Structure 1
């Protein structure tokens, strides 16, 4: 950057030197001065492609502009072979869910730079979004062979392998991601949920423990651990649910899970107290009504249970698990007491 500054001082009106200085300032995170310098270039040479590119990217990063394909269309109309603009347009198109066009831009770059790891990975992400899984895996494998620790590439390959049911490979990529960044919540969640989907519940519980150790204040990971452990001892589950309540009061999933485990463990008094508290502020809370009615059903308070289940059917979405379960309970109560 110092060399460009000297060149600009010697030849202050030279667009090429000014543009190089703008790019160097942008790389040094001096965004305001970089934008000012790029604007100075464009005042001298309105079609100066590198300055147009620098300014467009700076405005995107700052949030001054929304991602718009047209910004980079203008640059590529002047110089169709300008790779930075084509790459950036591909990224913008991907952000706009125009993955077909994004893949075309990345493919055009790869004709010139066939071993560019980042572009291979970006095209692989686009192919994954289009569910071209074989092509996605080919691109991601090629990109990661060049740049093995590219986190977006590992994440996309894990997702691709999951779709292809190559689950051990997906787990290996997720574990590699956690080794690179142990504090990324989504990676912990992806690993836990994949293990659960594979019915490897003991490993999923260990993965949830790892997640809570790394991110003790993650509501999502705490919830996954509580949900995994609900069939085990009650106290650890309640501790996780208490922490969720502290971090995110009245989280609906946590309240529902608390009602579930209280019922599972026969803690009817606590269940009634919690459901009373919920229903006092929201009489139409379908989950609280359902679990309270289930406890009443088990205690043979059939009239109260029947009224609760019928109300749940009115409140819950049609053909949902909740409404269907309530309907089954209503049928069972009526079978037992036909009058």
Structure 2
């Protein structure tokens, strides 16, 4: 603290001209370097300070390399990525094994989504200095580049956090990897850890909004996503998630407004169009919603996400055959995930095509064997197969995993429709007693 205060006073004196020329010469040789390496000023001021530090002839080689790294990041924060990159390249020209140069280029490659390039730089940096930042950068570049899966990425991040438990970037990434693994309680703990130490961390705030919305805690999710957007009003993913949250809170006009902003900010992303189409549909403008999805495919191209929601809206309209045609496009592309198979099972039930429904629900459960919706629609298919005892058992499993009892009436209707009156009566009585 004392050194920082002295540095600030000397810097002020140097820039105001209140010291002698000789004092300025001596001070400049040390103070600009010290001030640059302290890295405590706004980025534009850091550029000026660090460039002056590089002009000092008595700075050591180590100091010059450190100054160049600080200067590179100052340019990066001023959105001059080209200058930042050239400085990191210059660092490597001086010292080919510089961890600062290697990891700097690694982070810039991650920013550009050149994950293979990032991985190579981080692997070289690991050989020089296996610190927490390099370990985390390597794990995530390999994960985002599809070299490793979620569990291996998690192990890499945990290794980074074992080196530095307070490395918040790695902790946020850990939270997101845990959401990919559907380990929501652990993900929430990681995001809370970050928010406690850095309350304005927008990625952690958005992460909490994501987790709470996945738990259907829409009001809580809204409070977190609002805080993330206070930090960055143009945070596209947070805007998209808020549109979804507002949709489920039946605030569709607000959901529509956020969706339109997502489209304006990211016209090549599919999710803004989907959010808009769903909000329009809930506002009674379903035809316009279909037009939005058609426009989206013209702009974005084929997207399984767009196809899924077009099929879903068609199913909601009772246009089951058209819905099947849409979702089968995703099947043909071999891109179907759990949600695609589940929707196809629902379509099969509506069409009374039970072999189709069975094939689809089996595929869904193979991906998520304990998902409450997978279990529920498996029960619905079993009812149509006249496997009433197993259907009731599977319905119970779905309830244990969080399925709302509001689905009891629909399930009982399926049983009654197959003539299983006594089973339906006993099931209703059981859950009435539970309530």
Q: Give the SS at the match of 2:182.
A: coil
Identify which of 37, 44, 52 aligns with 2:135: 52
Alpha-carbon distance between aligned partners in 2 of 1:111 and 1:186, rounded to the nearest angstrom: 30
Residue 92 of structure 1 and its aligned partner are, at CA, apart by 1.0
The CA deviation at 1:214 is: 3.5
Residue number in structure 2 paired with 1:233 = none
Counterpart in the other structure of 1:37: 121
Supply the distance in 2 between the matched residues of 1:93 and 1:245 (Cα, whole angstroms). Answer: 28
Deviations 1:147-169 (A, max 9, x none): 22323212322333344333433
CA distance in 2, matches of 1:150, 1:142: 11
Could you list the per-position Cα deviations for residues 114-168 of structure 1 after superposition, in whole angstroms to 9, with x for gaps in the alignment?
2232332122212222344333211111111232232321232233334433343
In structure 1, what is the Cα distance between the partners aligned to 2:224 and 2:131? 33
Gaps of 5+ in 2: 1-84, 333-343, 358-382, 389-410, 421-435
For the Cα contact (< 8 Å) 2:175–2:190, is it kept in 1? yes
Query: Gapped runs of 5+ residues in structure 1?
Result: 231-236, 261-277, 287-312, 329-339
Q: Does 1:204 align with 2:275?
A: no
After the TM superposition, which residues 277-296 of structure 1 pair with which residues of structure 2 at under 5 Å, given as runs? none
- Say if 1:58 and 1:208 are closer, same or farther in 2 by CA, change over 3 A: same
1:74-89 equivalent positions in 2, closer than 5 A:
74-89=159-174
Compare relative contact order (CA 8 Å, sep 6+) and give the higher one, 1 or 2: 1
Are the aligned partners of 2:122 and 2:138 in contact in 1 as well (CA < 8 Å)? yes
Matched with 1:308 is: none
- Aligned partners of 1:30 and 1:245: how far apart in 2? 32
TM-score, normalising length: structure 1: 0.62
Q: Deviations over 1:58-104 (max 9, x none)?
A: 11112221113222111111111222211211111121122222222
CA contact under 8 A between 1:208 and 1:224: conserved in structure 2? no
Q: Is 1:7 aligned to residue 91 of structure 2?
A: yes
Residue deviations 1:35-59, cap 9 Å, x none? 33322332233x3222212211111
CA contact (8 A) 1:209 1:225 kept: no
Q: Structure 1, residues 152-191: CA drift from partner, whole Å, max 9, x if none?
A: 2123223333443334333333343344455655554555
Q: Tell me if structure 1 keeps the 8 A contact 2:246–2:255.
A: yes
Contact 2:243 2:275 in 1 (8 A): no
Matched-pair contact (CA < 8 Å) for 2:109–2:117: yes
Q: Taking structure 1 as reference, are residues 213 and 81 closer, same or farther at Cα in structure 2, changes over 3 Å only?
A: closer
More moved, 22-31 vs 53-62: 22-31
**Cα separation, 2, equivalents of 1:317 and 1:205:** 39
Q: Secondary structure at the match of 1:215?
A: helix
1:314 and 1:157 mapped to 2: Cα distance?
38
Q: Which of 241, 249, 256 is matched with 1:156 structurally?
A: 241
Contact 2:278 2:289 in 1 (8 A): no
Structure 1 residue 242, shift from structure 2 partner = 11
Partner of 2:148: 65
In structure 2, relative to structure 1, the CA distance for the partners of 1:6 and 1:224 (3 Å cut) is: closer
TM-score (norm 2): 0.50
C-alpha distance in 1, partners of 2:262/2:387?
Answer: 39
Q: Distance in 2 between matches of 1:88 and 1:211?
A: 32
| Aligned positions, number | 272
Residue 113 of structure 1 aligns with which residue?
Answer: 198
Find the aligned partners of 2:268 and 2:307 in 1 and give their Cα distance: 14
Q: Which stretch of the first structure deviates more once superposed, 246-255 or 79-88?
A: 246-255
- Paired residues of 1:60 and 1:67 also in contact (CA < 8 A): yes
What RMSD over aligned residues (CA atoms) do the two structures have, in Å? 4.3
Distance 1:43 1:159, change over 3 A: same
Distance 2:218 2:345 in 1: 36
Are residues 148 and 53 of structure 1, via their aligned partners in 2, closer, same or farther at CA, if it must alter by over 3 Å?
same
Q: Which moved more, 1:175-184 or 1:103-112?
A: 175-184
Shift of 1:246: 10
What's the counterpart of residue 306 of structure 1?
none
